[in-house]
Structure formats: C-alpha cells, structure tokens
Chain A
C-alpha cells in the first residue's frame, strides 16, 4: 500500500517537474529580453535624430549606427492595436533596417491597453501602438507612458500629439460621411453633420457605430464645440431617425456599398480599402467636412513608449523611423491614412491634409471619454 502510494507520488512529482522544466525552457526566449539599455527615456535619441526637414529623406541613416553599436539587435516588444495586415510589413521592414529584433503582439487596441494596465510594472511591452488617441490617453493618465523627446514630437503638427508629450500621432484618420452614390446626390449631404438630426430625408437610411472609438471621439468633439445640449439632441435626433446601429466602421461601409443604408458616419480609409479589394467601381463616396465642422474631426493612430520599457532607446529609434518619410509614405499608400510628417503627401484620391481644416480640438481631451460615455448611456445607445 505504502509503496504504491510512494510510486504514485513520485509519478506526480516527475510530471510536475517536467512541466516546470518545459515551462522554463519555453519561457527563456521571451523572459530574457534585451540587455538592459535603459537610459533616461529619450536621452539616447536626441543626438541621433535628424534636425532638418531636408535630412528627413534619410532619417534612419543617422539613427541606425548609434542604435546598432549601443545594443546589437536589441529586442523591442510592441503591443499593437493596429492589425498585422495593416502594419506587419512595415514593422518587419523597420526591424531589418534598424537591426532590431521587433516582436509584436497584435490585438484589440483597448484590450491591449487594458492588459498593460493589468501587467503594471511587469509589462513586457516597450511600445504601445494604438488605433486611437483615447487608448493612448488612458495609458498616459495611468502613468504608463514615458515622455517623448521634443525632437520627435515636433515632426508632427501640434494637434496630432499629446499636449503632455506622452504620445505622438503617426497617421491621421478623418471622420467622413460615406454615402451611396446611386441613392444620394452629393448636394443632399447637409452642410453640417449637426443637420442630419431631425431630417426626415434620412429616416431609416443612416448607419452609425455608437460603440466605436472614433465615433465617440467625434461625439466628444461635438460636446466640446457645441455644448452638451446640442450633442444630446443630435444623438437623440439620429436615434429617432431609426439609424441602424453597426458594430464598427467597416460594417457601415459594406452596408453603404451594397445599399442596405444610404449614408453613414465613418473614418475615411475603409472605403479606400474596399475599393482596392473590390476590383470594380463601387457605388460609394466619402464626404469630407472641410469647414471646421465637428463632423470633420481628424483623429490619430499613435504610439507611446512605456515607462517600464527596458529597451527605450530601441523603442525610440522605432518611433523615429515611423515618423520618417519611408514609413509615412507607407501609411499614405498602404493604409490610405494621412501621413502626419510634413512634406509627405496623402493618397492622390484624398483631399490633402492641409485642406481638411478640421475642428480645433485638443486630441488629448479625447482621453476623457467619461462624459461622452455617460451621454451615450443617457440617450440609451450603450
């Protein structure tokens, strides 16, 4: 009896030990990242960055050698809320050109940000790449992001970066009204997005995504610019028109293309992507508000370096590259977003960034979504 129990115990112990061993072995490559190259965040970058726009054509030429000599193929861990289909090729290229071992965890922007909050000081992430300013703001507010060197920040126009210098926009995304060209004449689109509300022309013909981050950023803009009352009555007005609720922008775009709805509130680039994939002309068009209307808000996808990063030099080199001409051209051509670096042009099918004339609004304000969420809940949309 006793011997049998001993054997049983031994078996259990062996199994447990084996599992532990296996765990440790597979843990090793991820658990021991770059040699600790932690200097004060940003200090390593300042001298390497290119100071003049002329040098921006080859910004990495200056950056590469310093990084290379400092830490041979340092590991940079990115938590990316932007999908692999969108930026995977770019990150691969950056890794090769900078001699960095770039490791990316792709996921939902908000879920990854929440994971970083859960991880706290033990987060393995060096860099967070978020799809909207809101998630970056949430991380900044919880003290998870380190200040960025002003040289990097200044490459991007002032509205598209954190006023507290904790994150920087990489690409711009304009809010537009997408409409089906077979059912809607361009002149039928109201001059202000506010005028959609209460307009019977649009009854049961609109699509929106109240749970979408970009949409909520727009509502925040509306509140800031026109006041709570206007925002509330607008939301109630659109709801009263039986606008269809979609889970995200891309579904609105599809529904507009196939005529399920006639118009919807979206970001500009989804239509561009659908066009590129369709292989036929699509009966849909984007309407850009270029008159400073809240409907023409320009939000950003951006990055922040974590305070806990052990490879902040390498992470900053990566940000430097993302704000260089080749990377910005990639965003213009591959993701159809607006490059934020001066001198890099947007996709030829799009109105240029300078002509958009978006509403004057501090994107850092967008991290305070509480008021907007409360409003959406009050109206019964969440």
Chain B
C-alpha cells in the first residue's frame, strides 16, 4: 500500500516535471497566438510572390532604398526623443510627491488616443507657415520666418507627441514595480543620489525603456497619417500609394515584406541587447518605493512636464475646440455622437481585455519559458505590429472571407483584429513587469500547496497588476483611435469616434470632427483613471 503510494508520487512528480519542462498551458496559448499573427506575414508573402517581376521591380527601384533609410531615420529619431521626454515625466510623476501627480500622469498618457493625422493637422495649424505661432510672432516681434514645419521636423515632432506615452506608460509600470532595496543597497555603499539613479535605477528600467522605444519605432515605421500631411515620404507612404493609386496589391506587398524584415532586425537587435538578466531580488520581501518630497529641481522639472503636457494635449484639443466654437457661432447643426462614443468605449474595453488576456501567457512564456527559442515566440506579434494598418486589415479581409466567412465583418473578428494589431503593446509592458518578479515566489506558493492558478491569482497577479493596468490602458487608447482595421472589418454601419473624425476630416468638414476629437481625448482618461482609483482603494485596504 505504502509502496504503491510512493510509486504514484514519483510518477506524479515525473509527469509534473515533464509537463512543466516541455509544454505549459501558457506556452500553448502563446504558440497559438503567435501563429495567428503569422497570417498577415503569410498573406504578404503570397501576394508578393504572385506579383513576380512587378514585385521585384518595386523592391529594386532605387527610390526604395532611399525610402527605407528615411523611414529608419525618422523612427530612430522619434524613439530617442520620446524616450528623452518620457523618462523625466515618468520619474517625476511616479517618484516625487507632487500634489495631484496621479491626475497629471493620467493626463500625460492621453495624447496616445489622438490619431496621428489629427495631431499633424494641429501641428500645422499651430506651427505652420501661417499658423497661430507664426501670426503671434509676426504681430509681437515682427518675426516672419519660422523653421519649416513640413518635412522631417514636423513629422518628428508630431510623432513624438503621439508616441511618447508608450515609453511613459512602460516606465511608470516598471517604476511602480521596482524594488526599493536595490537603490538602498547602492546608497549604503555610499553611492550618491545621481550615481544610484544612473547606475542602479536606469539599468533596472532597461526592459521597460527598450520595449517602449521598440513600440515607438515600429509605430513610426507603420504610420501613414502624420507623414502624409507633413510631407515626409517613407516606405509606408509608398505602400499606401501602391494600393491607392495603382491598386497594385503585389507591389505593395513586396514593399511591406521589406518592412517585415526591418522589424525583425530591430527586434532581434533588441533581444540581443537585453539578453536575459534578473531584475528581481532573491531574498527578503519586496517593498514599494518611497516618494521623495519635491525640491526646487523637481519643481523646475514639473513645470517643464506641465509645459510639455499642455503642448501635447493642448494642440489637438485647442484645434478641435476652435472648430467647435466656429461651428457654434455659425449655428451649424452637428451630427450626433452618442453611438460612436458608446461603440468606442465598447471596442476599447473589449480589445483591452482580450489583448491583455492573450498577452499574459505570451509575456510569461518569453520571460520564464524553457528553451532557447521560446523567448522569440512573440516575434510574429511585433512584426504584425510594424505593418501599416491597411496591410493588416486587407490580410484579415482576405483570410477571414475565405476561411471564416461567418465571422467576417463581425464584432468578434474586429476585436481579434485589434488584438492582433496591438498585442505587442501589452506583451512589451507585461514582459518588463514579469522580469521584475522573482519566480521563487510562485514556486514557494506552489510548495505551500497552492494550485498553479491559485498561486498565480494570489501571488503573481497582484504583483503584475501595475503592468496589466498600463497594458490595458495602452491598448484601450490605441484601439479607440484605430482606423484601417475598423473601417474594413467592423460590422456594417458601425461607427466609432475615430471613424467619425476621419469621415469628417476626409472631406474637410472640420466642424463635424470637433466633438469626436474632444471626446477621444476625454475618454482617453477613463481607463487610466479607473485603474488608478482601483489601485488606490486596494492600497488603502491593505493599509487598514
């Protein structure tokens, strides 16, 4: 009796080890998600091959090389500048006890909800040759020439304004999960404030910083709206033109394959750079960081933060408010926006939930998975993310109309489309958050008899919560502004705030775009505010 019991235990443990080592359920989910993300890549390959010579011609055109270099140049510049902006914003709002810093942090993430072409219009309206700033300067100090907004400068500024929240949110989540002990140890070793910050805090934030910058880079590579208005032709610009002008799907696909290669190189470089380092403590308990009280330097920093924030939010909000007031003074009848508002909230939340739920196993697999190549399982997701929206949308049209006709142009497919488009935003942040956690914690919980899911729920989940919140907010904000996938894959007649803005601006009905633009900014606050409130309530409870 005892002998047989002993044998079963051994068998059990063997089985357990086998199943742990070879395939965990999370790894299965990650693999499934990754293979779905391969659909657009396969579609592109198919289309490009179908084109044969035409596709080859568009690849070998001398202009293509030039476009690739321009794309890369802009992407790197925007990634660098948005990191430079996001870093102080995140540190100041997360580490210094300013009054109302939570609200400030929430507001600072909102520009992410602004479609890049709307930001581009606003930048032109404000900084263009006949814009607000120009006429202000002309009237006050007689200055008539401003630096040219069109071209690299305008595209760089606009894209920095809409993408810095990526790095900002990633850094905030990481700062929140950061273990105070590392910095304290550095201090006991007589490292000064600054040395501690640069040698300890910054390297610990590495994964978050890199994932934010990677998101920014890929966003810029795939952006069409801003660069078209600010006249900075890139590879994506050329891809769009192939569709729009010659209806040449093969030539467009060939160019998009080039983007795939670019993204893959960037990703592998990032992985190589980051390698695998531990970002958690091994003994004792993690303590949340302490807030510094603001000194004069922090106040100076805060005023710069406020200046930047009011610029990033004020530009689009100011322009929309101008449109609105002008329409009101003319007594113009504006279309109703109740339905687009409700729809935007619906798809934003649904896409946020689904994406985060799918991203958790992927991030988990990348951080904790066994095997050398497991950490590359999210590669297809990032590649899909680097594709222009229209390419992904057409790939999904082509695939679903053939293989899932009953899902075509329905809400579930739309949500899957969003998830596919925005998964890396969530996996990036979650990966950085998970890297901060000691896997021994979970193992300890398991040895204490908790089942895997209980262990996850009671130990891991609370620690991952800051990352989950930031990831949800990111996906929500980018979903509500998403356009190409929404236009082609939504149920017919389905309008969101983004499609309302687009429909109005496409034919220069500026007044019709006013309210939806303001609402996009308005509901951009919702997920962050809710999450912040939830967390604070949780903190109060645990303090009691």
Contact = CB atoms under 8 A, between A and B. Distances in A.
B326 A373 contact: no
A255 B25 CA distance: 58
B390 interface: yes
Contacts of B231: 244-247
Query: Interface size class for chain A?
Result: 35 or more
B508 A103 contact: no
A1 B15 contact: yes
A273 B508 contact: yes
Given A23-B406, A31-B406, A118-B394, A211 B244 contact: yes
Contact of A277 (B409, B491, B511): B511
A138 B488 CA distance: 19
B247 interface: yes
B413 interface: yes
Given A23-B412, A259-B130, A111 B508 contact: no
A26 B492 contact: no
Given A247-B229, A260-B128, A111 B504 contact: no
A114 interface: yes
A299 to B, nearest CB: 15
Contact of A85 (B409, B411, B493, B509): B509
Contacts of A23: 406-407, 410, 412-413
A123 B503 CA distance: 23
Contacts, number: 159
A117 interface: yes
Interface in B393-434: 393-394, 397-398, 401-402, 405-413
Contact of A382 (B245, B406, B411): B245
Contact of A110 (B238, B244, B397, B401): B244
A342 interface: no
Given A103-B493, A112-B488, 15 more contacts: A8-B25, A83-B506, A83-B507, A85-B512, A106-B487, A107-B487, A107-B488, A115-B393, A115-B488, A122-B401, A211-B245, A255-B130, A277-B511, A369-B245, A370-B246
Contact of A19 (B330, B332, B402, B412): B412
Interface residues of B, number: 61
Interface string B294-331: 00000000000000000000000000000000110110
Nearest to B490: A105
A110 B245 contact: yes
B16 interface: yes
Quick one: which of B245, B398, B408, B410 has the most chain A CB within 10 A? B245
Interface string B80-122: 0000000000000000000000000000000000000000000
Nearest to A31: B406
B439 to A, nearest CB: 21
B504 A85 contact: yes
A113 interface: yes
Interface in A265-315: 270, 273-274, 277-279
Contacts of A110: 243-245, 247
A118 B504 contact: no
A259 B451 CA distance: 70
